[in-house]
Amino acid sequence: MTRTVKSIVAAAAVLGTVGLALPAQAVAQDGGTFAVQGATIHTVADGVIEGGTIVIRDGRIIAVGADVDIPADAEIIDGEGKHVFPGMIDSFSSLGLTEVGAVAVTNDASELGRWNPHLNAHTAIHPASEHIPVARANGITHSMVAPGGGGRGFGGGGSGIQGQATLVHLDGWTVEEMEIEKTAAMVLGWPTLSTGFRAFAGFGPPAGGRSFRRAQERFDEEVAEMDSWFVAAEHYRQAVASGSSRVPRNIQLEHLSRVLDRGMKVIVRANGWREIESAIEFAEKWNLD
């Protein structure tokens, strides 16, 4: 994650500014050297610097402080009376996957079916989405873009293996330019232990409707189904490792095997405390990262 951390730090003070108009493209894509001078800098780690200076070269912060040498070739940006904050990270979103909620053709957040470990949000992110500059203007510089899944939930709220999330920064003409980590995590939609219509829709734990015992049975069945996919992936992983030529390639299990190898982190969508406890137990059982 060294690359990720460096990228986040580089964008932090400039792209997350409040009241300081500095287009992200001017820093990240045009190169050059900039100095934001006289601003109130909120560093988080080292407190607040009044009347400080930030020097950025080729999209990277090279100096921050109250007494900073400004390179002779730097373009000076007056930050007096302005506040500069680190950029925020949206740790779980569908940014770039959804445009207009009521127009189906502009929504690519959810795939058909419940078991899609082979799918990656990276392929569906729309860099020209109108939501990206809005998010950036409000101080969000990075986002973990996660796919949704089918099943009973609306908007990707159903249980299942929903696919691979992508970590991006919100500046770039193409997905490749935005990409920090193409395959950042596998997303699991955890079953919902609740009753009534809201449970059917994947909206959380209301009361009434179907009995809790039936809800518990349904929940256990779906957790067992999730477990069966991991069992199959483990068998597939062992068969491939043995060098057997009789193992047909299975793209779904191949990607899920990376999770078992701890080569990919896991993100779990879970609502109530029972679901969270169940997800933690599952992660411990399979030694997930």
Among residues 17, 52, 86, which one ends one of the domains? 86
- The CATH number of the domain where 218 resides is what? 3.20.20.140
Identify whether residues 136 and 264 lie together within a single domain. Answer: yes
pLDDT for position 190:
94
Identify whether residues 119 and 160 lie together within a single domain. Answer: yes
pLDDT for position 104:
80
Number of domains the chain is built from: 2
Identify whether residues 44 and 135 lie together within a single domain. Answer: no
Tell whether the model's pLDDT for residue 195 goes beyond 70.
Answer: no
- The CATH number of the domain where 8 resides is what? 2.30.40.10
73-96 burial by CB neighbour count: b if 16+ within 10 A, else e? Answer: ebeebebeebebbbbbbbeebbbb
Identify whether residues 217 and 75 lie together within a single domain. Answer: no
pLDDT for position 271:
84
Identify whether residues 116 and 188 lie together within a single domain. Answer: yes
* pLDDT tens profile 71-128: 999 999 999 999 998 889 999 999 999 888 778 888 888 788 899 999 999 999 999 9
Identify whether residues 103 and 170 lie together within a single domain. Answer: yes
Q: Which residues contact 239 (CB under 8 A, 6 or more apart)?
A: 247
* Size (the chain), residues: 289
Identify whether residues 148 and 198 lie together within a single domain. Answer: yes
Instruction: Please tell me the pTM assigned to this model.
Output: 0.75
pLDDT for position 101:
78
Identify whether residues 43 and 114 lie together within a single domain. Answer: no
Q: 190 near 279, Cβ under 8 Å?
A: yes
Q: 171 near 136, Cβ under 8 Å?
A: yes
For 280, other C-beta atoms within 10 Å of its C-beta total 13
> Among 91-100, 168-177, 209-218, 263-272, whose mean pLDDT is lowest?
209-218
What angle, rounded to 10 degrees, do the helices at 251-260 and 212-241 form? 90
Identify whether residues 28 and 153 lie together within a single domain. Answer: no
Among residues 86, 113, 139, which one ends one of the domains? 86
Identify whether residues 264 and 220 lie together within a single domain. Answer: yes
Tell whether the model's pLDDT for residue 28 goes beyond 70.
Answer: no
Among residues 86, 109, 129, which one ends one of the domains? 86
Q: What is the 3-state secondary structure (H, E, C) of the chain?
A: CHHHHHHHHHHHHHHCCECCCCCHHHHHCCCCEEEEEEEEEECCCCCEEEEEEEEEECCEEEEEECCCCCCCCCEEEECCCCEECCCEEEEEECCCCECCCCCHHHECCECCCCECCCCEHHHHCCCCCCHHHHHHHCCEEEEEECCECCCCCCCCCCCEEEEEEEEEECCCCCHHHHEEEEEEEEEEECCCCCCCHHHHHCCCCCCCCCCHHHHHHHHHHHHHHHHHHHHHHHHHHHHHHCCCCCCCCCHHHHHHHHHHCCCCEEEEECCCHHHHHHHHHHHHHCCCC
232: left (phi over 0), alpha (psi -120 to 50) or beta: alpha
The residue range of the domain holding 230 is 89-285
Identify whether residues 56 and 32 lie together within a single domain. Answer: yes
Tell whether the model's pLDDT for residue 149 goes beyond 90.
Answer: no
Identify whether residues 256 and 280 lie together within a single domain. Answer: yes
- Longest CA pairwise span in the chain (Å): 73
